[in-house]
Amino acid sequence: MQKIILIIIVAFGVQAVLSGEEVTCKTPNNEDGACIPIRQCQKMYNARRSKVKDRQYIDYISKSICENPNEAIQCVCCKPEERFEVTTTTSTTTAPRIQNFRDVLNIEEHPNIQLFDTNNCGKTTTDRLSYGEKTDLFEFPWMAALGYRNLSLTLDEPRIFLCGGTLINSFYVLTAAHCILKENDPKLRLEFARLGEHDFATTQDCKLTDSGKICARPVQDIPIDKTIQHPDYNHPRYNNDIALIRLKNQASISKDDVVPVCLPITEKLKQKQYPEYIITGWGTTENYTTSTVLMRATIPFVEMNVCQQKLKAKNLFVDLADDKQFCAGGHNNIDTCRGDSGGPLLVMDELNEPQTIQIGVVAFGVNSCGIANIPGVYTKVQYFVRWILDHMEA
């Protein structure tokens, strides 16, 4: 019988899948290896679990990611001498047991998980939480405003802010795919992400406290290195509306004005349903900007069938996907008006301690600002954490 050899081209080399054999690959150093789950690769597995992080080796692990059609979890290209020995004797170290996790939701073994600073993400230094429309300075320090250039205008014309996003580590902003593509207006070009902004109307953001005046650092306008929109965006319509932006320069993280948000990376957070959420933004959408100051609102979860009925009642025909999207809000005509296209839907929950977790991304096409009792539709971040990690680099 003729053997069929499938050659798969990957970022760091060539790997071959042979009938009845292991998936072979080339390491980032062009050495022969096997594409196996990271738990079977002793050196990488120990490095990932170590409290002392070797950033250079973590980067090596990220570049070692490979595809193995026989495994439902993330794999790495591992050299033979770095593998766990598997034997039936009791005196030999054995590879940890590999479970058959669900493909999309499993991220426990992902080499890039270390790119998230789970100890410091989602924390603020503000001494209070806002309960009105306007947020307090330093309350949501992961917010990003996306700056666009209108190509029909001269270079010295001011940039415009049409979408929001969130800083998830010092090099990456999470946003919506429609904010990257802007297919409705080809004259617009995304140029930079602004971090550390609170009030667009002020040169420097400050607040008065009992101990005196406290000011934020100048905003950081960081050019875009590259954008990664989900390949299945808009298939079906309005689905998979999520994207990553890699910044050209590393953001300057602080403890108050620029901090990454947390993502739902634990099994508990991925499965949890919340009764209400916090939405934040300047109200920057395709049509208008409603505020110079960062705003917030608390909005309730809406069951999918109820959401679908309300959308259809207003002739908004959207094929919602339970696993990838959810609905929230639709009360008092104000909730989605305070959010940004591509901006976050947030909750406070336990990661290592109480921290702010991003659960949703404001999706495209169903912005209901000004339409009574119409819920907003949000991309479910839990579903896409694996995709996010797959496309991040150290």
282-311 pLDDT, tens digit each? 876 545 556 889 988 888 999 999 988 888
Helix, strand, coil: what percent of the chain each, to 5? 15, 30, 55
224-255 pLDDT, tens digit each? 999 999 999 887 777 899 999 999 999 999 99
pLDDT category at 182 given cuts 50, 70, 90 is low
- pLDDT at position 127 is 52
pLDDT category at 53 given cuts 50, 70, 90 is low
What's the rounded Cα separation, in Å, for the pair 358 and 345? 6
Q: Which of 80, 74, 81, 84 is nearest to 42 (CA)?
A: 84
pLDDT category at 368 given cuts 50, 70, 90 is low
Residue 83 DSSP class = B
Domains within the chain, CATH numbers bracketed: 24-82 (3.30.1640.30), 112-391 (2.40.10.10)
Q: Which of 6, 57, 1, 55 is nearest to 35 (CA)?
A: 6
- pLDDT at position 9 is 30
Contacts of 111 (CB under 8 A, 6+ apart): 38, 44, 48, 58, 61, 62, 64, 65, 74, 76
CA triple 372-335-145, angle to 5 deg: 130
Q: What mean pLDDT comes out for the span 169-187? A: 85
Active-site residues, by number, are 178, 241, 341
pLDDT category at 89 given cuts 50, 70, 90 is very low
pTM: 0.73
pLDDT category at 262 given cuts 50, 70, 90 is very high
The C-alpha torsion from 192 through 197 and 203 to 207, rounded to 10°, is -170
- pLDDT at position 46 is 74
Give yes or no for a contact between 261 and 121, defined as CB atoms under 8 angstroms apart. Answer: yes
**Mean pLDDT taken over the chain:** 80
